[in-house]
């Protein structure tokens, strides 16, 4: 039940239309909670029905017409409630780790190329995060309101740093292996 709250957060930060939200999810919020435009439109409908947000539009027509949504006080209250409520961390689910475990029994044939590709993708993502950090959080001045945003960005940077290091290490190990088939 996180998507509605991701949308509420985005709308509190700045009232937007569905497509604007979609773009913002691609840029910033989507870095840790991705969503497609279909999910967003569906969820906007629900949030409006529940009285958490309100559409500002010249009423009548509905398709192709731009709608701008804003958060109502009930929505803001729900977001605050959700933020404070305890939630268990979800168990990790990572396909690459699973594939390496599978490679241990069926052989490492072919996985190296994809490890390299992932390393490249994570390296790019890391560079993107670091560019954002330099732009939005230059060293020296550190406004207290921005501390939380910076903290979240730093999680992204540290995670991508972890992946680039781990993938590099994995490629080293793979190169040192007797090559080809797995155990059994």
Partner DNA sequence: CGGTACATGTAAGCAGTTACATGATTCT
Partner DNA sequence: AGAATCATGTAACTGCTTACATGTACCG
Residue ranges in contact with DNA by CB under 7 A? 1-3, 17-20, 34-39, 41-42, 44-45, 61-67, 90, 93
Report the residue number, 18 or 75, with the smaller CB distance to DNA: 18
- Which of these ranges, 42-50, 62-70, 132-140, 143-151, lies near a second copy under the rule CB under 8 A? 143-151
- Note whether 103 binds a second copy by CB under 8 A: yes
Query: Taking Cα atoms as reference points, which of 54, 56, 53, 55 lies closest to residue 77?
Result: 53
Q: Is 71:52 a contact under the CB 8 Å cutoff?
A: yes
Nearer to a second copy, 57 or 177 (CB): 177
Instruction: Using the Cα atoms of residue 75, residue 81, residue 83 and residue 85 in order, give the sign of their dihedral.
Output: negative
Do the Cβ atoms of 36 and 51 come closer than 8 Å? no
Task: Give the binding range for a second copy (CB under 8 A) out of 39-47, 49-57, 62-70, 111-119.
Answer: 111-119
Q: Could you count the other beta carbons within 10 Å of the beta carbon of residue 79?
A: 20
């Amino acid at each position: 039940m996180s998507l509605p709250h991701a949308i509420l957060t985005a709308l509190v930060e700045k009232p937007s239309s569905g497509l604007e939200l979609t773009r913002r999810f691609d840029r910033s919020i989507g870095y840790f909670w991705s969503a497609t435009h279909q999910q967003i439109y569906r969820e906007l409908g629900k949030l409006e029905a529940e009285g958490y947000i309100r559409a500002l539009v010249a009423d009548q027509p509905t398709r192709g017409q731009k709608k701008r949504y804003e958060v109502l006080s009930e929505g803001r209250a729900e977001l605050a409630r959700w933020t404070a409520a305890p939630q268990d961390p979800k168990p990790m689910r990572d396909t690459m780790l699973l594939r390496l475990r599978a490679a241990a029994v069926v052989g490492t044939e072919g996985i190296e190329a994809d490890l390299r590709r992932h390393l490249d993708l994570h390296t790019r993502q890391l560079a993107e995060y670091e560019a954002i950090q330099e732009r939005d959080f230059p060293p020296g001045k550190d406004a207290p309101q921005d501390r939380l945003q910076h903290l979240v960005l730093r999680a992204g940077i540290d995670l991508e740093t972890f992946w680039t290091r781990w993938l590099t290490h994995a490629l080293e190990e793979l190169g040192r292996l007797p090559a080809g088939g797995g155990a059994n």
